[in-house]
Amino acid sequence: MGVDELTAVQMAFGLCMVLFGAELFTNGVEWLGVKLRLGEGAVGSVLAALGTALPETAVPMTAIVLGGGEADQVGMGGILGAPFLLATLGGLVLALAAVLFRAGHPAGGMAVSSRAFRRDLAFFLVGFSLSLAPAAWPAPWFKASVACLLIVWYVVFVRAHLRDGDKAKSAPDLRPLYLNRRHGHPSAVAVLAQIALALLLVVAGAHLLTRGVESVAAERAVPAFVLSALVVPLATELPETLNSVLWMRDRKDALAVGNITGAMVFQGTLVPAIGMLLTDWTFTRTAWWTAGLTVAAASYLLMAVHLASRVEPWTLVVPSIAYFAFPLVAFQPHALSPSARLALVAAMLASSALCAALWVRSRRALPPRR
């Protein structure tokens, strides 16, 4: 068996582990929300986001702490790449899930509180923008002060969700816990055991996927920052996206969207705070492109949802164009092969076409004006 075949088997096995772990996790975290009497907003934006943030947080932190050479830049690429991917491809995945699982149903806004969506994005934009300030002025005392502020800002975010008035999900609305197939409420021990098992599967599977992606990228001489900011997050962000797809399947839009936006807040506050304490936090031109496009994508989503007063699938697709455009504008022409550039342009056109189709569909679903 050749090296390529071994890598393919490794990635396929890792994907299966993440898929199975995501199914266990979504089921377990919903029951944990019932046990804690939390609303869907807190379950999706806090509990689920914290749990599935482990893989993408572990990769850059391990590179920074244990690596050498370009490890700091690789770690910073992972720190900046995670929120960039969530703000761009995360919305595309949600929109595709809405189309896939709601074929034949009337088009329209998703069953998500626009107020909660805007609040999560506002928390992210404030925290992430604040984390960029020490990159422009890297004084040690300033970095430490901003890191402390970011930690406090995330605590405020968590308290806002825990104090929210969302109605907690009742037990009859949930599927039975997988580790407790009998009727009735599962014990707290069973719920926590299933969540722990799910996280182990997700972390191990994401690690296999990441190693496979790194191997493929190394064979094709992909630049280091591309690998850490664009390629590796595709694997490490898989738990969030798959959890959201599963919740979209079950018509739990608030959990699905909250899982993405809550992970964005975590990745835009706590993780940069750790990064700026462990590195010199200096940005390259490519790093500034990543950060700038992330802020632009999140700002667009905030503005669009504010104007429409609801979350629509076509709105979520638009920022995905920035993900495919990023390598074309951030890197020198010789860094990408002609076939790679063609594939990126094709992906941009496909996202644009999907956005236009969903926009037309949403307009047709609106009641006629009198």
Counting Cα atoms < 13 Å in the Cβ hemisphere of 15 gives 9
The H or E element containing residue 190 is helix 188-219
- How far, in Å, are 1, 96, 109, 206, 335 from residue 218 at the CA level? 19, 30, 42, 18, 14
Counting other chains too, the contacts that 280-285 makes at CB distance below 8 Å and 24 or more residues apart are: 280/72, 280/138, 281/76, 281/134, 281/135, 281/138, 281/143, 282/135, 282/138, 283/76, 283/132, 283/135, 284/73, 284/225, 285/330
Q: What is the Cα–Cα distance from 132 to 273, expressed in whole angstroms?
A: 10
| Mean of pLDDT over the chain | 78
Whether the CB-CB separation of 79 and 272 falls below 8 Å is answered with yes
Helix axes 71-101, 54-66, angle to 10 degrees: 170
Domains of the chain: 3-364 (1.20.1420.30)
Instruction: Give residue-wise pLDDT tens across range 307-326.
Output: 888 888 888 999 999 998 88
Q: What is the Cα–Cα distance from 247 to 258, expressed in whole angstroms?
A: 10
Instruction: Give residue-wise pLDDT tens across range 341-370.
Output: 788 888 888 888 888 887 887 776 655 544
Rounded CA Rg of the chain: 20
Instruction: Give residue-wise pLDDT tens across range 178-212.
Output: 887 666 678 888 888 988 898 888 778 777 766 77
Residue 366 CB neighbours (<10 A): 9
Residue 360 CB neighbours (<10 A): 12
Q: What is the Cα–Cα distance from 96 to 102, expressed in whole angstroms?
A: 10
Task: Tell me what percent of the residues of the chain surpass a pLDDT of 70.
Answer: 72
